[in-house]
Amino acid sequence: MERKKQNPTAEDETQIISRRIQRISLHITPIPRPLHDHDNNLGLLPCATREKLEVETEKLSVYMRGKYRDMQEKIYEYFNARPELQTPVEISKDEHRELCWRQMYGLIRETGIRPLKYVVEEPAKYFAITEAVGAVDISLGIKLGVQYSLWGGSVMNLGTKKHKDKYSEKIDSLEYPGCFAMTELHHGSNVQGIQTVATFDPITDEFTINTPNDGAIKWWIGNAAVHGKFASVFAKLMLPTHDAKGVSDMGVHAFIVPLRDFKTHQALPGIEIHDCGHKVGLNGVDNGALRFTSVRIPRDNLLNRFGDVARDGKYTSSLPTINKRFAATLGELVGGRVGLGYSSVGVLKIASTIAIRYSLLRQQFGPPKQPEISILDYQSQQHKLMPMLATTYAFHFATVNLVEIYSQMKMTHDEQLVGEVHALSAGIKAYVTSYTAKSLSVCREACGGHGYAAVNRFGTLRNDHDIFQTFEGDNTVLLQQVAADLLKQYKEKFQGGTLSVTWNYLRESMNTYLSQPNPVTSRWEGVEHLRDPKFQLDAFRYRTSRLLQSAAVRLRKHSKTLGGFGAWNRCLNHLLTLAESHIESVILEKFIEAVEKCPDASSRAALKLVCDLYALHRIWNDIGTYRNVDYVAPNKAKAIHKLTDHLSFQVRNIAKELVDAFDLPDHVTRAPIAMQSEAYAQYTQQVGF
């Protein structure tokens, strides 16, 4: 007998939907609670409270913020006590620039903070200052960085005693506001290609600075449009010769060039200054363009640490070639990259704090006839924000470590450390700023329509931070520097050379790569194994080693037909992936070390949970790579995915404590939706109710 086909009716579909909702309800049973608890703790689901770690926020915060917490608090309190210096939501370009100057001038003159001193003597303290002022207004953080890290740093790092004695005190007190004039209209990343020239005149004992064409106009120069009175101008040093050429190019050097008259504030003769205009963000920074026409400066204005010109025009240097002098010059300016990576993490902390506090507050939907639940109880919201929170912690410890290595380098001038900081700062700056830029959009979207309100800061944070991916080195260019250094280390390994500290793991992991993955461990799926730091770090390093070996093979192959440049371009995406993989390995290594060093047991347990989420989330995101080479079997891949979701859920349970440990008070985050009490009331007041 033929069976009749069953066509589901509307009533059948209603029953099916009801059953599904009933099943979901068994898993979601929220505790009824008012919108604002008096103790500011939002209630958790019963299933969540069973696995919630006890975190002592104050102890975790002390471990995170370290010894410069008091300095940052001093800055926060200074601006909190001066509402006239707080940046409003709506402000014109010109008003923002003047406010930014008054913010910096007030901070320096009224608090006694002397950033230039710390740039030289205590870099970690200086970076803590820039993080704090960046939380007040990113434009202020960048303007302060231009004055002290770039203009001041170039004088202190590229000059000699005569320059430090003459300029340092007045730079520190803001009596000498200045610029860093390296970038040109036609040349940004390729600094050796800049065209501005500084020709020595032995008759007058002066240099003549010239902009030979429009492509050589100095462009995007911070502090130039309005406030700068001096500039460190990077130009090709040309010396007169008696041969047919007439001049000899000694390479790029830096020169102190006065820009404006101190009494009238007008541009000096031969100097043309124009405003680069309104930007996507950072409109509190007055970026300008500079053209020089036969501008004469004394010979002493050459910043002569790595090369000098005598009265008779003779050139001397402790470094034998143009390339070595250029490398030494840029090496001394690497602090800018270190600072940008560190400051980018500060921006990510603010954004994740706003998004997570709002997600704990905001309630939408829920089981039938029961209260609505926090949107952070939804797996989709956890998937957006919890790995990001874990990554923020990972970045924090990685950049703190970078600052420590950089500080050691400044004290010891150890050549191995110089090379290590150069490559590591390039990679971390590129990786961190790119991730933060993407995360700012994720945070905005996670906060729905309220995230789109300017007062809740995501738009400003996103626009102001966006350029972090470009200045102090374009991120794509910086990652290529990391890849090039890895290939150099790879060559050293097979020639028996010494690897730098950060790259030591390559010796062992490359040997591991050359053997086949262990078929037994590739199937282990136990939680204890997956949460073992050794498994996690080995996986990261295995991937990097595999990418490195295959990149070397491909480059060798393509070089035969395309030449070195063509081969590099053919393999470029591979090389960028290699660089990112290496940086991820370093970040995880430093996170694991930070977990192990944490003295407080409750904080250590919380950090271990967050570290595991960071590691397994990254492995899962690239699971195809591990599957392709059977490093991870299908059952293990499934277990990693399942555990990652579970760890996100566990991190959600302590998300409030984790963002509270960043210790960003409401007057610093300044977003009504992130207020820790009466957020909606403050939000409605903001619009006039």
Domain layout of the chain by residue ranges: 63-172, 178-322, 335-660
Least confident of 39-53, 77-91, 280-294, 540-554: 39-53
pLDDT tens per residue, range 656-679: 999 999 999 999 999 999 987 777
Instruction: Say how far apart CA 686 and CA 101 lie, in whole Å.
Output: 27
Instruction: Say how far apart CA 396 and CA 128 lie, in whole Å.
Output: 12
pLDDT tens per residue, range 595-640: 999 999 999 999 999 999 999 999 999 999 999 888 999 999 999 9
pLDDT tens per residue, range 205-237: 999 999 999 999 999 999 999 999 999 999 999
SS3 (DSSP) at 235: strand
Dig out the tokens for 579 from the structure: 């660089």
DSSP E strand boundaries for 241-392: 247-258, 271-275, 288-292, 295-298, 308-309, 315-316
φ, ψ for residue 230, nearest 5 deg: -135, 165
pLDDT tens per residue, range 3-58: 444 444 545 555 655 555 454 444 444 444 433 343 333 344 444 444 678 999 99
CA atoms lying within 13 Å on the CB side of residue 162: 8
The answer regarding whether domain 63-172 maps to CATH 1.10.540 reads yes
Least confident of 20-29, 114-123, 165-174, 649-658: 20-29
Q: Which of 118, 84, 115 is nearest to 99 (CA)?
A: 84
Instruction: Say how far apart CA 600 and CA 54 lie, in whole Å.
Output: 12
Instruction: Say how far apart CA 448 and CA 687 lie, in whole Å.
Output: 18
3-state secondary structure string across 185-218: CCCCCCHHHCCCEEEEECCCCEEEEECCCHHHCE
SS3 (DSSP) at 227: coil
Q: Which residues contact 299 (CB under 8 A, 6 or more apart)?
A: 200, 205, 206, 207, 309, 311
**pLDDT value for 208:** 98
- Which of 420, 472, 584, 589 is catalytic? The answer is 472
CATH topology of domain 178-322: Butyryl-CoA Dehydrogenase, subunit A; domain 2 (2.40.110)
Question: Contact 398/340 with Cβ under 8 angstroms?
Answer: no
Question: Contact 303/297 with Cβ under 8 angstroms?
Answer: no
Q: Which residues contact 372 (CB under 8 A, 6 or more apart)?
A: 363, 364, 365, 366
**pLDDT value for 52:** 78
Instruction: Say how far apart CA 103 and CA 95 lie, in whole Å.
Output: 12
Question: CB neighbours (10 Å) of residue 53?
Answer: 15
**pLDDT value for 12:** 56
Burial of 587 (0-12, 13-18, 19+ CB in 10 A): buried
Dig out the tokens for 228 from the structure: 């700068």
**pLDDT value for 508:** 61
CA atoms lying within 13 Å on the CB side of residue 14: 3
Q: What stretch of H or E contains 664? A: none
Does this model's pTM top 0.75? My answer is: yes
CATH topology of domain 335-660: Butyryl-CoA Dehydrogenase, subunit A; domain 3 (1.20.140)
**pLDDT value for 523:** 86
Task: Look at 389 and 15; give whichever has higher pLDDT.
Answer: 389
Residue 190 has pLDDT above 80, yes or no: yes
Question: Contact 113/322 with Cβ under 8 angstroms?
Answer: no
Q: What type of residue is 174? A: L
Question: Contact 588/536 with Cβ under 8 angstroms?
Answer: yes
CA angle, residues 72, 73, 74, in degrees to nearest 5: 90
DSSP single-letter state for residue 452: G
Task: Look at 48 and 251; give whichever has higher pLDDT.
Answer: 251
Percent of all residues in the chain with a pLDDT value above 90, rounded to a whole number? 75
Least confident of 55-59, 82-86, 519-523, 543-547: 519-523
Residue 501 has pLDDT above 90, yes or no: no
Question: CB neighbours (10 Å) of residue 179?
Answer: 30
Instruction: Say how far apart CA 238 and CA 15 lie, in whole Å.
Output: 86
Question: CB neighbours (10 Å) of residue 405?
Answer: 17
Dig out the tokens for 547 from the structure: 């990418």
Average predicted confidence (pLDDT) for the chain: 89
Phi-psi region of 413 (alpha: psi -120 to 50; beta: other; left: phi over 0): left
**pLDDT value for 14:** 55
DSSP E strand boundaries for 6-100: none
Percent of all residues in the chain with a pLDDT value above 70, rounded to a whole number? 89
Residue 141 has pLDDT above 50, yes or no: yes
Active site residue 472: yes
Residue holding tokens 């010059």? 329
Task: Look at 123 and 242; give whichever has higher pLDDT.
Answer: 123
φ, ψ for residue 20, nearest 5 deg: -65, -45
**pLDDT value for 4:** 41
CA atoms lying within 13 Å on the CB side of residue 546: 17
φ, ψ for residue 379, nearest 5 deg: -60, -35
SS3 (DSSP) at 178: strand
Question: CB neighbours (10 Å) of residue 508?
Answer: 12
Strands 247-258 and 230-240 turn out to be: antiparallel
Q: Which residues contact 417 (CB under 8 A, 6 or more apart)?
A: 405, 408, 409
